[in-house]
Amino acid sequence: MIDQPADRPRLLVVEDEPSICALLESTLRLTGYEVGSAGTGRAALAEIERSNPQLVLLDVMLPDLDGFEVTRRLRVAGNDIPVLFLTARTGLDDRIAGLGAGGDDYVSKPFSPEEVLLRIEAILRRTGARATAPEPEHTVRRYADLELDADAHEVHRAGQYVRLSPTEFKLLAYLMANAGRVLTKAQILDHVWNYDFAGDSRIIDTYIRYLRKKIDSFHPPLIHTVRGVGYCLRLPRKAGGGQ
């Protein structure tokens, strides 16, 4: 069970294609967002009014009001909720129309969940509603047989000293501070490398590989890849139930 802080932002997914809607909902919940959904433009307006989410993922092609019209109505009503358009249209005119209608960014279909997460986090960061993972508070943090001493800058696994580089140490400290919770690559980049959204996330994969060689040469493995999303430090699930 993922431990979710109460202050994770609430998002609304507006999408009339059930499979895309379900994919987005499950991905966003997995990374700790509270998620609602709507299948039409009018339902979206009603849901935004009712639940006051912090960001809306808004499909452009909807059965009633299109995404641009939904956004225009929100802005006319004085609602400045950030809008991330989901669009099958890739033309520049559509992009301008979308941003002119008061949207904050857009992703073109087909998109990867990871790309959507990166855009969401970038918007939330810009609008100040960003979800921040908690900072380490304790000098010594333990998870399973892993122990990290922040003051001494030392890591032990199963009682054995593990030598880490400063970046590996910082990455492990961040994973341990959020043990059991999936961290997106954007969160990791931002926290460990202080990069903005444009940073190259492949550096994370490289350092995760270094860290695995040192930390997960022991058993069981603790660093897990969550495909299309990011990484999670936790004990393995039962065989067959892994991700």
Contact residues toward Ca ion (CB under 5 A) are 16, 59, 61
Shortest reach from residue 87's CB to Ca ion, in Å: 9
Burial of 4 (C-beta count, 10 Å sphere; 0-12/13-18/19+): middle
C-alpha angle 58/64/67, rounded to 5°? 25
Burial string for 210-231 (b: 16+ CB within 10 Å, else e) reads ebeebbbeeeeebbbebebbbb
Nearer to Ca ion, 57 or 177 (CB): 57
Give the three-state DSSP class for 157: strand
Residue nearest to Ca ion as judged by C-beta position: 61
Shortest reach from residue 141's CB to Ca ion, in Å: 45
For residue 146, the one-letter residue type is: L
Nearer to Ca ion, 16 or 34 (CB): 16
Nearer to Ca ion, 86 or 155 (CB): 86
- Is residue 228 within 8 A of residue 27, CB to CB? The reply is yes
Nearer to Ca ion, 16 or 147 (CB): 16
In angstroms, how far is CA 130 from the centroid of its own chain? 10
Q: Is the peptide bond before 110 cis (omega within 30 degrees of 0)?
A: yes
Place of tokens 């990484």: 231
Shortest reach from residue 88's CB to Ca ion, in Å: 8
Shortest reach from residue 106's CB to Ca ion, in Å: 14
Shortest reach from residue 59's CB to Ca ion, in Å: 4
Nearer to Ca ion, 61 or 223 (CB): 61
